[in-house]
Amino acid sequence: MRALVTGGAGFIGSHLVDRLVARGDKVLVVDNLSSGVLDFIKDHIENGKVDFSNTDLKDLDALKPLMHGVDIVYHLAANPDIRLGTRITDTDLNEGTIATYNVLESMRLAGVKKIAFASSSVVYGEDAPMPTPEDHGPCLPISLYGASKQAGEGLIGAWVGTFGLQAWIFRFANIIGERGTHGVIFDFIHKLKKDPSRLEVLGNGLQEKSYMEVGDCVDAMLHVISNTNESINLYNLGSNDTCSVRNIAAIVVKETGCTDASIEYTGGDRGWAGDIPKAMLAINRLTDLGFKVNYDSEEAVAHTARVLIQEIMG
Ligand code: NAD
């Protein structure tokens, strides 16, 4: 099996690459290292288990030859910073929608038939019932990032319907764990490293979301792909509960040992415009396939806090 992983030097992508290498797949990582870290996959490259191409997905001509001989594309590359869309309005269009078009078009030209796509819970928007099932609709995302994920899903549906692709679309909850390079736990640890006496929390801290450990996430992806065979396979990936931002702040303060830090809330019901304050995915489609999620949200947060404190504070 030859797999091409876009964003394979990133946080989630590098864990996926670990799993693919472990089971003996041949892997080509395509990543422009805009937020990825080559060190995450350096050992695999040095061992000859992974080929690496520093290519930008916005460059269709550069992408085309990389698709030859590929059996499946795992498309994980994207701008990871949802908040960026509040200041710069074309990043998600270019790094999400256009990049996904280029991936699909280069697949079509090379005859590659299978794609797995990292979408997001944010496609559901903010008025979805909780826990949100995959068949909820209409999906009306409220961030530019969410719009690009929905556009990506739409393009994939079009390539399935028009050119006979087979697709797995994964709507991720908040994915956290080792090698995390962004997100609330990462931010809190950096803030406390800079100033152990105070922790600023965006919003009122009552935001409440599901968190899934990254190992669970990539195992779930591979489990679903191995056990489903529709032309489009749409799955929520998350855990069975939620954790509040207040709780995350308390866990990070405890784990860093900064127990004297004053926790200061900036106020408002969300971290930034376009943030969804409360989100929980229904994951019975995933569990009905026989997948067991190892970490609940709070365990995933505590585990992530411990490993990231090691990575960031040493
Ligand atoms: P990440 O930033 O660590 O990984 C993204 C990777 O894509 C990086 O290695 C980056 O260098 C690469 N990349 C970005 N733009 C590129 C381009 N134009 N050409 C080539 N490479 C490019 O982020 P992540 O958290 O690992 O996210 C992986 C995927 O999962 C993304 O699509 C993200 O939107 C999605 N997702 C993540 C979460 C989460 O909680 N982390 C939740 C929902 C969805």
CATH of the domain at 303: 3.90.25.10
Q: Is 32 in the pocket of ligand 1 (CB under 6 A)?
A: yes
Q: Which residue segment(s) compose the domain that 190 sits in?
A: 177-210+241-313
Does residue 150 sit in the same domain as residue 259? no
Report the residue among 40, 66, 76, 276 best suited for mutation to probe ligand 1: largest number of ligand atoms under 8 A from its CB: 76
Does residue 119 sit in the same domain as residue 254? no
Does residue 152 sit in the same domain as residue 112? yes
Last residue of a domain, one of 189, 220, 237: 237
Q: What is the pLDDT, as a whole number, of residue 58?
A: 98
Q: List pLDDT tens digits, range 6-44.
A: 999 999 999 999 999 999 999 999 999 999 999 999 999
Does residue 201 sit in the same domain as residue 288? yes
Q: List pLDDT tens digits, range 124-168.
A: 999 899 999 999 999 999 999 999 999 999 999 999 999 999 999
**Phi, then psi, of 264 in degrees rounded to 5:** -115, 125
Shortest-distance atom of ligand 1 to CA 9 = 9
Q: Are 103 and 6 in contact (CB under 8 A)?
A: yes
292: CB partners within 8 A, 6+ apart: none
Does residue 183 sit in the same domain as residue 103? no
Shortest-distance atom of ligand 1 to CA 8 = 9
Does residue 166 sit in the same domain as residue 182? no
Does residue 265 sit in the same domain as residue 160? no
Does residue 37 sit in the same domain as residue 47? yes
Intra-chain end-to-end CA distance of the chain, in Å: 38
Q: Is 31 in the pocket of ligand 1 (CB under 6 A)?
A: yes
Does residue 92 sit in the same domain as residue 183? no
Catalytic residue among 101, 124, 145, 295: 145
Report the residue among 14, 32, 168 best suited for mutation to probe ligand 1: largest number of ligand atoms under 8 A from its CB: 32
Number of domains comprising the chain = 2
Neighbours of 69 (CB within 10 A): 12
Instruction: Provide the residue type at 4 as one letter.
Output: L
Q: What is the pLDDT, as a whole number, of residue 167?
A: 99
Q: Is 77 in the pocket of ligand 1 (CB under 6 A)?
A: yes
* Segments of the chain with pLDDT less than 50: none
Span from the CA of 118 to the centroid of ligand 1 (angstroms):
8
Does residue 293 sit in the same domain as residue 224? no
Is 145 one of the annotated active-site residues of the chain? Answer: yes
Does residue 216 sit in the same domain as residue 274? no
Span from the CA of 259 to the centroid of ligand 1 (angstroms):
33
Span from the CA of 257 to the centroid of ligand 1 (angstroms):
31
Does residue 290 sit in the same domain as residue 261? yes
Span from the CA of 189 to the centroid of ligand 1 (angstroms):
21
Span from the CA of 81 to the centroid of ligand 1 (angstroms):
9
Q: What is the 3-state secondary structure (H, E, C) of 80-120?
A: CCHHHHHCCCCHHHHHHHHHHHHHHHHHHHHCCCEEEEEEE
Q: Are 286 and 227 in contact (CB under 8 A)?
A: no
